[in-house]
Homo-oligomer: A and B are copies of this chain.
Amino acid sequence: MFEKGYIDENYVRVSRDELFSFVVRVLTKLEVPEKDAEIVAHNLIMADLRGIESHGVQRLKRYVDGILSGGINLKPSIRIVREGPSYALIDGDEGLGQVVGYRAMKLAIKKAREGGIGVVAVRNSNHYGIAGYYALMAAEEGMIGISMTNSRPLVAPTGGVERFLGTNPIALAAPARDRPFLLDMATSVVPIGKLEVYRRKGKPIPEGWAIDSAGNITTDVEKVFSGGALLPLGGFGELFGGHKGYGLSLMVDILAGILGGGTWSRHVKNTSEKHSEVGHFFMAINIEDFLPPEEFREKMSRMIDELKSSRRHPDFERIWIHGEKGFLTMQTRLKIGIPIYRKVLEELNSIAESIGVEKLKAGGEDGRA
Protein backbone atom coordinates (compact mmCIF):
# COMPACT_ATOMS: atom_id res chain seq x y z
CA MET A 1 0.00 0.00 0.00
CA PHE A 2 2.85 2.36 0.76
CA GLU A 3 3.35 4.47 -2.35
CA LYS A 4 6.75 3.93 -3.87
CA GLY A 5 6.32 6.07 -6.97
CA TYR A 6 5.81 2.94 -9.06
CA ILE A 7 4.95 3.06 -12.73
CA ASP A 8 1.73 1.39 -13.77
CA GLU A 9 0.44 2.15 -17.25
CA ASN A 10 -3.14 1.53 -16.14
CA TYR A 11 -2.97 4.73 -14.10
CA VAL A 12 -2.49 8.42 -14.76
CA ARG A 13 -1.63 10.99 -12.12
CA VAL A 14 -3.87 13.91 -11.26
CA SER A 15 -2.99 16.69 -8.88
CA ARG A 16 -4.92 16.90 -5.65
CA ASP A 17 -6.20 20.40 -6.44
CA GLU A 18 -7.42 19.51 -9.92
CA LEU A 19 -9.20 16.43 -8.59
CA PHE A 20 -10.80 18.49 -5.84
CA SER A 21 -12.03 21.17 -8.19
CA PHE A 22 -13.30 18.53 -10.64
CA VAL A 23 -15.48 16.87 -7.98
CA VAL A 24 -16.77 20.28 -6.91
CA ARG A 25 -17.62 21.36 -10.46
CA VAL A 26 -19.47 18.11 -11.17
CA LEU A 27 -21.50 18.28 -7.97
CA THR A 28 -22.28 22.00 -8.10
CA LYS A 29 -23.40 21.61 -11.71
CA LEU A 30 -25.87 19.04 -10.38
CA GLU A 31 -27.07 21.70 -7.93
CA VAL A 32 -25.32 20.46 -4.84
CA PRO A 33 -24.62 23.61 -2.75
CA GLU A 34 -20.95 24.56 -3.07
CA LYS A 35 -20.11 24.06 0.60
CA ASP A 36 -21.66 20.60 0.51
CA ALA A 37 -19.82 19.74 -2.70
CA GLU A 38 -16.56 20.69 -1.00
CA ILE A 39 -17.26 18.38 1.93
CA VAL A 40 -17.87 15.46 -0.44
CA ALA A 41 -14.73 16.33 -2.42
CA HIS A 42 -12.64 16.46 0.76
CA ASN A 43 -13.93 13.11 1.86
CA LEU A 44 -13.39 11.33 -1.48
CA ILE A 45 -9.97 12.84 -2.02
CA MET A 46 -8.81 12.01 1.48
CA ALA A 47 -9.52 8.38 0.59
CA ASP A 48 -7.53 8.68 -2.64
CA LEU A 49 -4.69 10.48 -0.92
CA ARG A 50 -4.47 7.81 1.75
CA GLY A 51 -4.53 4.96 -0.74
CA ILE A 52 -8.11 3.78 -0.16
CA GLU A 53 -8.89 3.86 -3.87
CA SER A 54 -12.20 2.02 -3.45
CA HIS A 55 -13.62 4.96 -1.49
CA GLY A 56 -12.09 7.71 -3.60
CA VAL A 57 -13.30 9.53 -6.70
CA GLN A 58 -14.14 6.22 -8.35
CA ARG A 59 -17.25 6.41 -6.16
CA LEU A 60 -18.33 9.72 -7.68
CA LYS A 61 -20.41 7.98 -10.33
CA ARG A 62 -22.53 6.33 -7.65
CA TYR A 63 -23.24 9.67 -6.03
CA VAL A 64 -24.01 11.24 -9.40
CA ASP A 65 -26.37 8.35 -10.16
CA GLY A 66 -27.98 8.81 -6.76
CA ILE A 67 -28.50 12.50 -7.45
CA LEU A 68 -29.88 11.92 -10.95
CA SER A 69 -32.22 9.12 -9.82
CA GLY A 70 -33.53 11.24 -6.95
CA GLY A 71 -32.17 8.81 -4.37
CA ILE A 72 -30.24 11.66 -2.77
CA ASN A 73 -31.93 14.78 -1.44
CA LEU A 74 -29.79 17.77 -2.47
CA LYS A 75 -31.47 20.26 -0.18
CA PRO A 76 -32.07 18.17 2.94
CA SER A 77 -33.45 19.60 6.15
CA ILE A 78 -30.91 17.96 8.42
CA ARG A 79 -32.76 18.02 11.70
CA ILE A 80 -31.94 17.41 15.34
CA VAL A 81 -34.73 15.11 16.50
CA ARG A 82 -33.69 14.84 20.15
CA GLU A 83 -30.86 16.39 22.04
CA GLY A 84 -29.19 16.66 25.44
CA PRO A 85 -25.92 18.22 26.54
CA SER A 86 -23.91 15.12 25.60
CA TYR A 87 -25.94 13.49 22.85
CA ALA A 88 -28.16 14.09 19.84
CA LEU A 89 -30.20 12.16 17.34
CA ILE A 90 -30.11 13.56 13.81
CA ASP A 91 -32.38 12.84 10.86
CA GLY A 92 -30.36 13.26 7.67
CA ASP A 93 -33.41 13.68 5.44
CA GLU A 94 -31.68 11.53 2.82
CA GLY A 95 -28.95 14.06 2.13
CA LEU A 96 -25.47 13.19 0.91
CA GLY A 97 -23.92 10.98 3.59
CA GLN A 98 -20.79 13.12 3.78
CA VAL A 99 -22.80 16.28 4.36
CA VAL A 100 -24.95 14.67 7.03
CA GLY A 101 -21.94 12.97 8.62
CA TYR A 102 -19.89 16.17 8.67
CA ARG A 103 -22.67 18.09 10.40
CA ALA A 104 -23.22 15.27 12.89
CA MET A 105 -19.54 14.95 13.81
CA LYS A 106 -19.26 18.73 14.16
CA LEU A 107 -22.10 18.55 16.65
CA ALA A 108 -20.46 15.67 18.56
CA ILE A 109 -17.24 17.71 18.77
CA LYS A 110 -19.12 20.79 19.99
CA LYS A 111 -20.84 18.80 22.72
CA ALA A 112 -17.57 17.18 23.74
CA ARG A 113 -15.93 20.61 23.90
CA GLU A 114 -18.67 21.83 26.22
CA GLY A 115 -19.25 18.77 28.38
CA GLY A 116 -16.52 16.20 27.79
CA ILE A 117 -18.49 13.72 25.67
CA GLY A 118 -20.50 14.03 22.47
CA VAL A 119 -22.49 11.14 21.02
CA VAL A 120 -24.55 11.61 17.86
CA ALA A 121 -26.68 8.92 16.23
CA VAL A 122 -27.90 9.54 12.68
CA ARG A 123 -30.72 8.03 10.64
CA ASN A 124 -31.95 8.54 7.07
CA SER A 125 -28.56 9.25 5.60
CA ASN A 126 -26.63 7.84 2.64
CA HIS A 127 -23.20 6.28 2.06
CA TYR A 128 -20.78 8.57 3.90
CA GLY A 129 -17.43 7.59 2.34
CA ILE A 130 -14.53 6.61 4.60
CA ALA A 131 -15.37 6.28 8.27
CA GLY A 132 -11.95 7.58 9.25
CA TYR A 133 -12.70 11.04 7.83
CA TYR A 134 -15.07 11.83 10.70
CA ALA A 135 -12.89 10.25 13.38
CA LEU A 136 -10.00 12.43 12.18
CA MET A 137 -12.14 15.56 12.46
CA ALA A 138 -12.19 14.98 16.21
CA ALA A 139 -8.47 14.13 16.39
CA GLU A 140 -7.69 17.42 14.64
CA GLU A 141 -9.46 19.13 17.53
CA GLY A 142 -7.33 17.21 20.02
CA MET A 143 -10.07 14.72 20.81
CA ILE A 144 -10.63 11.00 20.41
CA GLY A 145 -13.07 10.47 17.54
CA ILE A 146 -15.16 7.39 16.81
CA SER A 147 -17.20 6.84 13.66
CA MET A 148 -19.30 3.89 12.49
CA THR A 149 -21.84 3.31 9.75
CA ASN A 150 -24.04 0.49 8.64
CA SER A 151 -24.02 -0.36 4.94
CA ARG A 152 -25.81 -2.51 2.40
CA PRO A 153 -25.67 -6.26 3.08
CA LEU A 154 -22.59 -8.07 1.74
CA VAL A 155 -21.42 -10.28 4.60
CA ALA A 156 -22.79 -13.62 5.85
CA PRO A 157 -23.17 -14.23 9.59
CA THR A 158 -21.32 -17.19 11.14
CA GLY A 159 -23.19 -20.34 10.12
CA GLY A 160 -25.22 -18.49 7.51
CA VAL A 161 -24.86 -18.07 3.76
CA GLU A 162 -26.97 -14.98 3.03
CA ARG A 163 -25.71 -11.46 2.61
CA PHE A 164 -27.09 -10.10 5.84
CA LEU A 165 -24.47 -7.89 7.48
CA GLY A 166 -22.83 -4.78 6.07
CA THR A 167 -19.07 -4.40 5.95
CA ASN A 168 -19.96 -1.96 8.75
CA PRO A 169 -16.73 -0.08 9.42
CA ILE A 170 -15.40 1.10 12.77
CA ALA A 171 -12.98 4.03 12.92
CA LEU A 172 -11.16 5.49 15.90
CA ALA A 173 -8.70 8.37 15.73
CA ALA A 174 -6.60 9.74 18.57
CA PRO A 175 -3.94 12.46 18.60
CA ALA A 176 -0.29 11.56 19.15
CA ARG A 177 2.94 13.56 18.97
CA ASP A 178 3.52 13.55 15.22
CA ARG A 179 0.35 12.43 13.54
CA PRO A 180 -2.88 10.87 14.73
CA PHE A 181 -3.42 7.18 15.30
CA LEU A 182 -6.17 6.13 12.89
CA LEU A 183 -7.88 2.77 12.92
CA ASP A 184 -10.39 2.53 10.06
CA MET A 185 -11.54 -1.01 9.41
CA ALA A 186 -14.35 -2.93 7.81
CA THR A 187 -15.67 -5.61 10.18
CA SER A 188 -15.43 -8.14 7.32
CA VAL A 189 -12.12 -9.91 6.50
CA VAL A 190 -11.77 -7.48 3.58
CA PRO A 191 -13.94 -4.70 2.19
CA ILE A 192 -15.77 -5.34 -1.08
CA GLY A 193 -13.39 -2.93 -2.84
CA LYS A 194 -10.57 -5.46 -2.47
CA LEU A 195 -12.60 -8.03 -4.38
CA GLU A 196 -13.30 -5.50 -7.09
CA VAL A 197 -9.55 -5.08 -7.57
CA TYR A 198 -9.07 -8.85 -7.93
CA ARG A 199 -11.99 -9.03 -10.32
CA ARG A 200 -10.52 -6.28 -12.48
CA LYS A 201 -7.21 -8.10 -12.63
CA GLY A 202 -8.87 -11.49 -13.18
CA LYS A 203 -7.00 -13.00 -10.23
CA PRO A 204 -8.26 -15.62 -7.77
CA ILE A 205 -8.91 -14.31 -4.27
CA PRO A 206 -7.21 -15.84 -1.20
CA GLU A 207 -9.03 -18.77 0.37
CA GLY A 208 -10.91 -17.42 3.38
CA TRP A 209 -12.15 -14.05 2.24
CA ALA A 210 -15.52 -15.00 0.85
CA ILE A 211 -18.06 -17.73 0.12
CA ASP A 212 -20.10 -18.77 -2.92
CA SER A 213 -23.88 -18.94 -3.02
CA ALA A 214 -23.84 -22.37 -1.34
CA GLY A 215 -21.89 -20.92 1.58
CA ASN A 216 -18.57 -22.60 0.80
CA ILE A 217 -15.24 -20.82 0.72
CA THR A 218 -14.30 -19.90 -2.84
CA THR A 219 -11.33 -18.34 -4.59
CA ASP A 220 -13.45 -17.47 -7.63
CA VAL A 221 -14.34 -13.82 -7.32
CA GLU A 222 -17.15 -14.14 -9.87
CA LYS A 223 -18.89 -16.65 -7.62
CA VAL A 224 -18.82 -14.13 -4.82
CA PHE A 225 -20.38 -11.46 -7.01
CA SER A 226 -23.07 -13.86 -8.23
CA GLY A 227 -24.85 -14.66 -4.99
CA GLY A 228 -21.92 -15.25 -2.67
CA ALA A 229 -20.92 -13.18 0.33
CA LEU A 230 -17.94 -11.80 2.20
CA LEU A 231 -16.89 -13.41 5.47
CA PRO A 232 -16.77 -11.52 8.76
CA LEU A 233 -13.37 -10.67 10.30
CA GLY A 234 -12.08 -13.96 11.76
CA GLY A 235 -13.31 -15.90 8.72
CA PHE A 236 -15.48 -18.98 8.24
CA GLY A 237 -17.04 -20.60 11.32
CA GLU A 238 -15.87 -19.99 14.87
CA LEU A 239 -12.42 -21.62 14.87
CA PHE A 240 -10.53 -18.39 14.14
CA GLY A 241 -13.06 -16.00 15.61
CA GLY A 242 -15.49 -15.42 12.71
CA HIS A 243 -18.23 -14.95 15.31
CA LYS A 244 -16.27 -11.96 16.62
CA GLY A 245 -16.29 -10.12 13.29
CA TYR A 246 -19.97 -11.04 13.03
CA GLY A 247 -20.54 -9.58 16.51
CA LEU A 248 -18.63 -6.38 15.76
CA SER A 249 -20.77 -5.92 12.67
CA LEU A 250 -23.92 -6.27 14.79
CA MET A 251 -22.46 -3.79 17.28
CA VAL A 252 -22.32 -1.28 14.42
CA ASP A 253 -25.88 -2.14 13.38
CA ILE A 254 -27.02 -1.52 16.96
CA LEU A 255 -25.18 1.79 17.50
CA ALA A 256 -25.39 3.25 13.99
CA GLY A 257 -28.73 1.74 12.97
CA ILE A 258 -31.16 0.73 15.69
CA LEU A 259 -30.16 3.32 18.33
CA GLY A 260 -30.95 6.15 15.92
CA GLY A 261 -34.39 4.74 15.15
CA GLY A 262 -33.09 3.43 11.83
CA THR A 263 -32.59 -0.08 10.57
CA TRP A 264 -29.90 -2.76 10.25
CA SER A 265 -27.71 -3.53 7.26
CA ARG A 266 -29.96 -6.16 5.76
CA HIS A 267 -32.44 -3.41 4.89
CA VAL A 268 -29.95 -0.77 3.79
CA LYS A 269 -30.21 0.07 0.10
CA ASN A 270 -28.00 1.55 -2.62
CA THR A 271 -27.39 5.26 -2.96
CA SER A 272 -29.50 5.36 -6.13
CA GLU A 273 -32.58 4.16 -4.29
CA LYS A 274 -34.86 6.31 -2.23
CA HIS A 275 -34.81 5.63 1.50
CA SER A 276 -31.51 3.83 1.48
CA GLU A 277 -31.75 4.08 5.28
CA VAL A 278 -28.08 4.36 6.09
CA GLY A 279 -27.37 5.19 9.75
CA HIS A 280 -24.21 6.47 11.43
CA PHE A 281 -22.78 6.73 14.94
CA PHE A 282 -20.31 9.40 15.99
CA MET A 283 -18.56 10.05 19.27
CA ALA A 284 -16.04 12.60 20.45
CA ILE A 285 -14.20 12.46 23.77
CA ASN A 286 -12.53 15.64 24.96
CA ILE A 287 -9.22 14.37 26.23
CA GLU A 288 -8.45 17.43 28.33
CA ASP A 289 -11.38 16.65 30.59
CA PHE A 290 -9.62 13.41 31.54
CA LEU A 291 -5.92 14.29 31.62
CA PRO A 292 -3.49 16.92 30.33
CA PRO A 293 -3.48 16.57 26.52
CA GLU A 294 0.33 16.61 26.49
CA GLU A 295 0.37 13.56 28.76
CA PHE A 296 -2.05 11.79 26.42
CA ARG A 297 -0.01 12.58 23.30
CA GLU A 298 3.23 11.70 25.01
CA LYS A 299 1.93 8.31 26.12
CA MET A 300 0.45 7.60 22.68
CA SER A 301 3.82 8.31 21.13
CA ARG A 302 5.71 6.23 23.67
CA MET A 303 3.39 3.31 22.99
CA ILE A 304 3.93 3.75 19.26
CA ASP A 305 7.72 4.05 19.65
CA GLU A 306 7.79 0.90 21.77
CA LEU A 307 5.71 -0.95 19.18
CA LYS A 308 7.98 0.11 16.35
CA SER A 309 11.13 -0.85 18.18
CA SER A 310 9.79 -4.19 19.42
CA ARG A 311 11.24 -7.37 17.91
CA ARG A 312 10.16 -7.94 14.31
CA HIS A 313 9.37 -11.13 12.43
CA PRO A 314 12.03 -11.59 9.70
CA ASP A 315 9.39 -11.60 6.93
CA PHE A 316 8.25 -8.08 7.82
CA GLU A 317 10.11 -4.91 6.96
CA ARG A 318 8.64 -2.95 9.80
CA ILE A 319 5.85 -2.83 12.35
CA TRP A 320 3.21 -0.43 11.13
CA ILE A 321 0.91 1.71 13.24
CA HIS A 322 -2.65 2.34 12.14
CA GLY A 323 -2.89 5.43 9.98
CA GLU A 324 0.82 5.50 9.21
CA LYS A 325 0.75 3.94 5.73
CA GLY A 326 -2.06 6.26 4.73
CA PHE A 327 -0.17 9.26 6.01
CA LEU A 328 3.01 8.40 4.11
CA THR A 329 1.01 7.66 0.96
CA MET A 330 -0.70 11.03 1.34
CA GLN A 331 2.60 12.87 1.64
CA THR A 332 3.83 11.33 -1.62
CA ARG A 333 0.57 11.90 -3.46
CA LEU A 334 0.38 15.53 -2.41
CA LYS A 335 3.72 15.95 -4.15
CA ILE A 336 3.43 13.79 -7.24
CA GLY A 337 -0.33 13.59 -7.67
CA ILE A 338 -3.00 10.95 -7.15
CA PRO A 339 -2.99 7.88 -9.40
CA ILE A 340 -6.31 7.45 -11.19
CA TYR A 341 -7.16 4.20 -12.92
CA ARG A 342 -7.65 4.85 -16.66
CA LYS A 343 -11.13 3.34 -16.73
CA VAL A 344 -12.10 5.56 -13.83
CA LEU A 345 -10.70 8.58 -15.69
CA GLU A 346 -12.83 7.67 -18.71
CA GLU A 347 -15.88 7.28 -16.50
CA LEU A 348 -15.29 10.61 -14.79
CA ASN A 349 -14.84 12.34 -18.13
CA SER A 350 -17.95 10.81 -19.57
CA ILE A 351 -19.83 12.20 -16.54
CA ALA A 352 -18.26 15.60 -17.25
CA GLU A 353 -19.29 15.44 -20.88
CA SER A 354 -22.84 14.35 -20.16
CA ILE A 355 -23.52 17.18 -17.72
CA GLY A 356 -21.38 19.78 -19.50
CA VAL A 357 -18.47 20.57 -17.20
CA GLU A 358 -14.78 20.71 -17.98
CA LYS A 359 -13.00 17.34 -18.05
CA LEU A 360 -10.39 16.22 -15.56
CA LYS A 361 -6.87 17.41 -16.41
CA ALA A 362 -4.75 14.30 -16.05
CA GLY A 363 -0.98 14.32 -15.89
CA GLY A 364 1.67 12.32 -17.75
CA GLU A 365 1.04 8.80 -18.89
CA ASP A 366 3.80 7.15 -16.95
CA GLY A 367 2.03 7.59 -13.67
CA ARG A 368 4.53 10.18 -12.46
CA ALA A 369 3.06 13.46 -13.62
A interface, CB within 8 angstroms of B:
82, 84-87, 89, 115-117, 119, 121, 144, 157-162, 164, 170, 172, 174, 181, 183, 185, 189-190, 206, 208-209, 215-216, 233-235, 237, 239-241, 243-248, 250-251, 253-255, 258-261, 263-264, 266, 285, 287, 289-291, 295-296, 299-300, 303, 306-307, 310-320, 322
Contacts and interface: CB of A to CB of B under 8 A. Distances in A.
A320 B266 contact: no
Given A266-B306, A290-B87, A313-B161, A233 B244 contact: yes
Nearest to A266: B306
Contacts of A144: 254-255, 259
Given A183-B248, A209-B240, 7 more contacts: A85-B116, A86-B86, A116-B119, A185-B247, A190-B241, A233-B233, A237-B316
Nearest to A163: B310
A239 to B, nearest CB: 6
A291 B257 CA distance: 12
Given A115-B85, A119-B285, A258-B300, A241 B310 contact: no
A318 B240 CA distance: 18
The 10 lowest CB-CB distance pairs between A and B, nearest first, are A159-B316, A86-B86, A215-B313, A183-B247, A87-B116, A84-B116, A86-B117, A261-B291, A159-B319, A185-B244
Given A89-B290, A208-B240, A322 B172 contact: no
Number of copies: 2
A315 B159 CA distance: 8
Contacts of A266: 303, 306
Contacts of A320: 158-159, 243
A277 to B, nearest CB: 12
Given A234-B234, A248-B183, A258 B161 contact: no
B319 A158 contact: yes
B208 A289 contact: no
A161 B239 CA distance: 22
Given A82-B289, A84-B115, A311-B161, A322 B243 contact: yes
Nearest to A261: B291
A368 to B, nearest CB: 27
Contact of A260 (B164, B190, B240, B290): B290
Given A233-B244, A285-B259, A322-B247, A310 B84 contact: no
A254 B304 CA distance: 11
Contacts of A260: 290-291
Contacts of A289: 82, 84, 87
- Of A172, A237, A247, A285, most buried by chain B (CB within 10 Å of CB) is A247
B263 A160 contact: no
A369 to B, nearest CB: 30
A254 B307 contact: no
25 contacts: A86-B86, A121-B290, A144-B254, A144-B255, A157-B307, A157-B319, A158-B320, A159-B312, A159-B317, A160-B311, A160-B312, A161-B313, A164-B306, A164-B310, A172-B251, A174-B258, A183-B250, A206-B240, A215-B311, A215-B312, A215-B314, A234-B241, A259-B287, A264-B303, A266-B303
Given A160-B313, A164-B307, A261 B290 contact: yes
